[in-house]
Chains A and B, each alone.
Chain A
Amino acid sequence: MPRTLKPMRRIGRGGAGFMIHILAFYLFAVLTIASGAITILARNPVHSVLWLILAFFNAAGLMVLVGAEFIAMLLVIVYVGAVAVLFLFVVMMLDIDFAELRAGFIKNFPLGILIALVLLAEIVLGVGAYQAGAMQLGTPDGSAATPVGASNIEAIGALLYGRYLFLFEAAGIILLVAMIGAIVLTHRQRTDVRGQDISKQIARRPDEATVNTQPEIGKGVQL
């Protein structure tokens, strides 16, 4: 039986293992918040993205601590490995005018505060509803979600491809439509450039592409 990603759980409460668990939680939590704050405060946008990556990474560490190793790995693979790389890719290539950015800060400040307040309210409402026991996580009818196997990959799989199959497929279709939309909007059929036809290139043989001539001296070759 493979060990899951939570060796501290086995050791149990009270011992040094519990202390490490607590220490790890505060380390990850403080680093997440700190790097989140520096993401906003950093002057250089590339530094901002790198701090954001550190925040993602520490959030993954927190996920490991609560035993959600699948979510932790997905967080690293999807956000750190793909989304943040594209972020970094774009930000590095942008030619950013810092003075203009700072001028925009004052203008957008009220909007930013409003969004922050909305997010805060949502978190408070969510935690409040959870505390009040309105709904157990995982099932809409209030009964506790039943994990199918020992690993949470199997549990998530059973929920996604069983109970929430149609929602999952709907999300997939929305993403597909978004992708096709992005391609249609940016794709241009250009006629003024010389493109390559790979199969034509591969199908070329030496005898049809080259000629062997023996030109007379001083005459040159007709190509």
Chain B
Amino acid sequence: MTAYFQSLGMSHDWAWFVATVCGILLIAVPLLVAVAMTIYADRKIWAAMALRRGPNVVGPWGLLQSFADGLKVFLQETIVPSASNKGLFLIAPIVTFTVALLAWAVIPFNSGAVLADLNVGLLYILAISSLGIYGVVVAGWASNSKYPFFSAMRAAAQMISYEVSIGFILICVVLWAGSFNLNDIILAQRGHIFGLLNGFAFNPLLFPMWVMFLISALAETARAPFDLTEVESELVAGYQTEYSSMAFAAYWLGEYANVLLMCALNAVLFFGGWLPPLDWAPLYWIPGWIWLFAKIGFFFFVFSWVKATVPRYRYDQLMRLGWKVFLPVSLLWVVLVSGYLMLTRYGV
């Protein structure tokens, strides 16, 4: 894109700057629309599984429901509790929302279509997703209220616990792909099994890692069945109890942007990203971004499906799963995968 703006008569530096800003807008604006539509999709899927109709009044088939909700929330009064720590109370939702958008900078949408092609792309995503905790923890503390504080403590412990096993799972993928660059990881999955199936998830050794990554992603984004940070039966509405209006909306949007990011990571790391599922020439006629979006949509359906069907975990069960099951198993798998690669690829 830099070359295009240079052809309009800009200097190289300015063209680079304008191209980057355009790239950011090209990702952020569609992402926000996509978040609005996924909230609608989530409610529709959930309703269908409960044999209800779901939103169906605003716009055709209720398609504009999320935008109506957004407008409603926007027109509400922002209430800042008098006992709260005002600065931090208002900064916290901004942090959550910004961090949820930041990680999308390194997701490749097609061959070469990526805003920042970092060679530490996966580490960047780990770093950014670990920042997401602060929005929640600071909100819980700054609210100066009992239930938000409990929720913040739960969220911090939960996210740290599952980040450890996610780290080990990602190491397995990185070992196999031989790179931290997301584009290289996708290309390493081309024709991975029998020269036909594109994706690490079809590899028998990495398949268990994919299952664990999916479950850890649910826990990391605090989705059902691990939504212990906002259990209505115990904690009112969790860390966002005291929030209203746009501050509340920022959490809402940020949460769904994070869920979409986790779906995108599932697609990129285990199902070949923008590659079609089969390494077969006619499938490549369909543009890569359509494959990526189809995969993200599929994983979002799985997330909604789990939310509609699986009962909520107890907190001690959540901690047990993270520390006593996922951590040892993923650690063992790092040893297995590196041992296998040493035997077959590198030769002892």
Chain A residues with a Cβ under 8 A of chain B: 2-5, 7, 11, 15-17, 46-47, 50, 53, 69-70, 73-74, 76-77, 80-82, 85-86, 88-89, 92-93, 150-151, 153, 196, 198
Contacts and interface: CB of A to CB of B under 8 A. Distances in A.
Contacts of B13: 11, 15-17
B137 A88 contact: yes
B119 A2 contact: yes
B258 interface: no
Given A89-B153, A89-B156, A73 B141 contact: no
A198 B320 contact: yes
Given A81-B127, A151-B119, A153-B119, 12 more contacts: A2-B181, A3-B117, A4-B119, A5-B119, A5-B120, A11-B13, A17-B13, A73-B120, A80-B131, A81-B131, A92-B152, A93-B153
A85 B133 contact: yes
B127 A69 contact: no
Given A15-B13, A77-B126, A50 B138 contact: yes
Nearest 10 pairs between A and B by C-beta? A81-B130, A76-B127, A73-B123, A16-B13, A2-B119, A2-B181, A2-B117, A77-B127, A151-B119, A3-B117
Contact of A76 (B118, B131, B141): B131
B183 A2 contact: yes
B202 interface: no
A77 B130 contact: yes
B86 interface: no
A114 B62 CA distance: 68
Contacts of A85: 130, 133-134, 137, 156, 160
B36 to A, nearest CB: 29
Interface in B123-158: 123-124, 126-127, 130-131, 133-134, 137-138, 141, 149, 152-153, 156-157
A3 to B, nearest CB: 5
A82 B117 contact: no
Interface of B: 11-14, 16, 88, 116-121, 123-124, 126-127, 130-131, 133-134, 137-138, 141, 149, 152-153, 156-157, 160, 163, 180-181, 183-184, 316, 320
B127 A73 contact: yes
Contacts of B130: 76-77, 80-82, 85
Given A2-B183, A76-B131, A69 B118 contact: yes
Contacts of A92: 137, 141, 149, 152-153
Chain A interface SS verdict (over half): helix
Contacts of A74: 123
6 contacts: A5-B116, A47-B88, A73-B124, A81-B133, A151-B119, A153-B119
Contacts of A81: 126-127, 130-131, 133, 163
A80 B133 CA distance: 10
A70 B126 CA distance: 12
Contacts of B184: 2
Contacts of B163: 81-82
Nearest to A7: B16
A119 to B, nearest CB: 27
A195 to B, nearest CB: 11
A3 B134 CA distance: 30
Q: Which of B88, B120, B138 has its CB near the most chain A CB atoms (within 10 A)? A: B120
B141 A46 contact: yes
Given A2-B181, A73-B126, A80-B130, A153 B156 contact: no
B12 A2 contact: no
Given A5-B118, A153-B180, A11 B131 contact: no
Nearest to B140: A92
Nearest to B137: A88
B228 to A, nearest CB: 16
A80 B320 contact: no
A15 B12 CA distance: 10
A171 B184 CA distance: 32
A149 to B, nearest CB: 10
A93 B123 CA distance: 30
A86 B119 contact: no
Contacts of A53: 134
Contacts of B88: 47, 50
B118 A2 contact: yes
B323 to A, nearest CB: 12
B221 to A, nearest CB: 16
Given A17-B13, A85-B133, A86-B160, A4 B127 contact: no
A223 to B, nearest CB: 25
A50 B138 CA distance: 9
Given A46-B141, A80-B130, A81-B130, A4 B118 contact: yes
Contact of A80 (B11, B120, B127, B316): B127
Nearest to A46: B141
